Amino acid sequence: ETFSLGSLVYNGVKYEGVELNLNAHKDELHLKIASSGTVLELNKNIVGEFVIGRRQFLTLVGENAVDGLPQGYYQVLYKGGDTLLKRNIRTFHERLQTSGSGVFRYFDQSNKHYLLKEGKVYPILRNKDFAKVYKEDKKAIKGFIRHNRMKFMEMEEKDPAFVEIMGFADKK
């Protein structure tokens, strides 16, 4: 596990300069006590917002849960009038090798993006999903995407493009 410096609101108290690790497979937030090296799994029900490195996260569980979103930790990619969230999911797999020589273990990683607009949740899979949410600015958004040559099928990492589109659409 790799830990990074960050900050955390835990049970209403803000802690700065803490070492954190977000386990996307188990959807757990771990805190490393620097003096002893002890690693603690933090109680998701009292974790507020937190920052790991330069990435900001929200905890959407219990009374902070949002209808239409699975409960858990979400990275905040964009926050303005509307909010763009990302959920990183890692799924563990085990398969017997056909040669009978053992077990093959691996993780699949996927990211899900969600736009929160006026209390509603919209899944964002590709560029045209923004135009569906911002119907009144559909032509302008499609023009922005075309002008900036954003072809998501070719993009490994969609986050920077999604953030650019959100910035454009949110200011319309």
Over its length of 172 residues, how does the chain's per-residue pLDDT go in tens digits? 799 999 999 999 999 999 999 998 899 999 999 899 999 999 999 999 999 999 999 999 998 999 999 999 999 999 999 999 999 887 766 777 777 677 777 667 788 999 999 989 999 988 889 999 999 999 999 999 888 877 655 556 788 889 999 999 988 6
Query: If you compute the radius of gyration of the chain from its CA atoms, what whole number of angstroms results?
Result: 19
| CA-wise closest residue to 41 among 59, 58, 21 | 21
List, in sequence order, the alpha helices (H) in the chain.
Answer: 127-133, 138-147, 159-171
Token pair belonging to 120: 């509603």
Contact 19, 4 (CB under 8 A): yes
pTM (two decimals) = 0.85
- How far apart CA 143 and CA 59 sit, in angstroms, is 35
| CA-wise closest residue to 159 among 84, 99, 67 | 84
- How far apart CA 116 and CA 83 sit, in angstroms, is 5
Q: Buried (b) or exposed (e) across 44-70, using 16+ Cβ within 10 A?
A: beebeebbbeeebbbbbbeeeebeebe
Q: Give me the phi and psi of 102, to 5 degrees please.
A: 145, -160
Residue 6: which H helix or E strand, with range? strand 4-10
